[in-house]
Amino acid sequence: GGKAILFSQWTKTIDWLAPKLKEFNPLIYHGGVPTKQREPILAKFKEDPNAHILLMSYGTGAVGLNLQFAGYVFLFDRWWNPAIEDQAINRAHRIGVKNPVIVTRFISKNTIEERIDRVLSEKRALFAAILGEGDNNNVSLGLNATEIFGLFDLKARHKGGSKSIGPKPVEQSTDAA
């Protein structure tokens, strides 16, 4: 039971997922939904006991909505800025919520998603170390060009030629065991 919000940055992904989740009576809320239909969708999600999942885009639903009656948040794909993900999670995790909100991020093993997750986690830790824990939503946690190229083990053009920005090579021991 319970209600869930699934976030994706892609409206085509949301539209693709809807029929696959039909047994949960999904509702769709993204930029392609006319503005006048959005409020009734949110009301139905809140009031209809059979509407179990709201498929929502980060851009349309991450900010300014109170959906604290949802106990589950799924981040189907990663946003380049973890502050946007935090805002999406905070649609369900609000002051006064008595039950925990369970958050699940979908990250496929051995894919670029793992690298994105690593870079975003490192950036989040760096900002927390510098600015302290708390609300850093006004600070850019997004990736810069060098970090994006590094996800693909590419070299960014740099004033003195090219600069390696990929992961550092692991030194292997030549000692015999």
Tens digits of residue pLDDT in 42-58: 999 999 999 999 999 99
pTM of the model: 0.71
Q: Look at residue 97 and give its three-state secondary structure.
A: coil
Question: Distance between CA atoms of 105 and 6, rounded to whole angstroms?
Answer: 10
What pLDDT, in 10s, does the model give residues 146-163? 666 666 665 555 555 444
**Once rounded to an integer, what is the mean pLDDT over residues 104-110?**
90
- 8 A C-beta contact, residue 8 and residue 14: yes
DSSP letter assigned to residue 127 = H
User: What are the structure tokens assigned to 101, written together?
Assistant: 């909100």
Question: Distance between CA atoms of 50 and 169, rounded to whole angstroms?
Answer: 52
**Once rounded to an integer, what is the mean pLDDT over residues 127-134?**
73
User: What are the structure tokens assigned to 51, written together?
Assistant: 């509407």
What are the Cα distances from residue 36, in Å, to 8, 11, 32, 41, 44?
22, 18, 12, 10, 14
Question: Distance between CA atoms of 37 and 35, rounded to whole angstroms?
Answer: 5
Tokens 């006004």 found at: 138
Q: Where in the chain is the domain with CATH 3.40.50.300?
A: 1-106
In CATH terms, is domain 1-106 a member of 3.40.50.300? yes
Residue 29 pairs in a beta bridge with: 56
Tokens 């959005």 found at: 38
- In the prediction, which pLDDT does 64 show? 72
